[in-house]
Amino acid sequence: MWSIAIYTGTSPFTLKPSQPVLTRDHVTDISADFVADPFMLRRDHTWHLFFEVQHSQTQLGEIGLATSDDAHTWTYQSIVLREPFHLSYPYVFEWQGNYYMIPETLNAGAVCLYKALDFPYNWSRVARLIEGQLADPSIVRFEDHWWLFACSTPYQHDTLRLYFASELAGPWTEHPQSPLIQNDNCRARPAGRIIQFDNRLFRFAQDCVPQYGSSVRAFEISNLHEHTYAEVEYDRNPVLKAAGTGWNASGMHHIDAHEQAPGHWLACVDGTRPLNQSV
């Protein structure tokens, strides 16, 4: 039973808990089992929150949308993207005046790029970036290149690969040090947006021990170039973890953090609880 909440804090690593703002009960146009994997961005003073909605009948993930003027009170809008295959992890971003989304598209056999034809409701698949089954693809623009991290063992959660390209549509090349991580399900699978904080680059990873979606850990990317890669674990991990009770009693596995002003961060996160436990 995954739900979505908004956290705030003085940094992306010191976020204060809150109650969930979106659950499956907020979804009005389909029957939903859960909501998870939230990503958000702001346009024209409105926050747009995109997230996975698990369809109860088809058991496929679809991409839902909620909006807010203050990032605390949210209104569910509708499903904005569905495919004949499962969708999740709707990593949305703006580039050169256009809005793009790279969701997880495992059963399409590739990492697919979508472009908003009429933001935020109308999305079109415009490219297959990288062939293969890659979970939770996470993209960032850094030093005139695009970089994309993804997990190539989506059911073991223990392998992290890295790709790069000069142009968003590619061609994409696998990094010579890739896979960066193997046989380690504590830090391989991506867990949200890659961010810059204090002039440093950080990625988030799911800690899938003792089970999938247990907690979120942060890693500083200390070296990111075409031929070299290095990272250092944040010294106060995990940055998100199960609360033991309530809506996130069993685990947390996602964060999308945004700096609003110096010392003021806002993040959408998700958490899970047993089905028979109340919020």
CA–CA distance, 274 with 15 (Å, rounded to integer): 24
Please count the structural domains in the chain.
1
- The reported pLDDT for the residue numbered 279 is 57
CA–CA distance, 83 with 80 (Å, rounded to integer): 10
Strand 229-233 versus strand 195-197 pairing type: unpaired
Tell whether 249 is covered by a domain. yes
CA–CA distance, 234 with 195 (Å, rounded to integer): 14
Mean pLDDT split into 10-residue runs, the chain, 279 residues: 95 90 96 98 96 98 97 96 98 98 97 98 98 98 97 97 98 98 97 96 97 96 98 96 93 97 95 76
Tell whether 278 is covered by a domain. no
Tell whether 35 is covered by a domain. yes
pTM assigned to the model: 0.96
- The reported pLDDT for the residue numbered 19 is 81
**Domain limits at 184?**
2-272
Tell whether 154 is covered by a domain. yes
H-helix segments, the chain: none
Tell whether 277 is covered by a domain. no
Tell whether 279 is covered by a domain. no
- The reported pLDDT for the residue numbered 17 is 84
Tell whether 266 is covered by a domain. yes
- The reported pLDDT for the residue numbered 83 is 98
Helix, strand, coil in percent for the chain, rounding step 5:
5, 55, 40
CATH number for 142: 2.115.10.20
CA–CA distance, 192 with 189 (Å, rounded to integer): 10
User: Which residues lie closer than 8 Å to 271 by C-beta, 6 or more apart?
Assistant: 2, 3, 5, 20, 242, 243, 247, 248, 249, 250, 251, 252
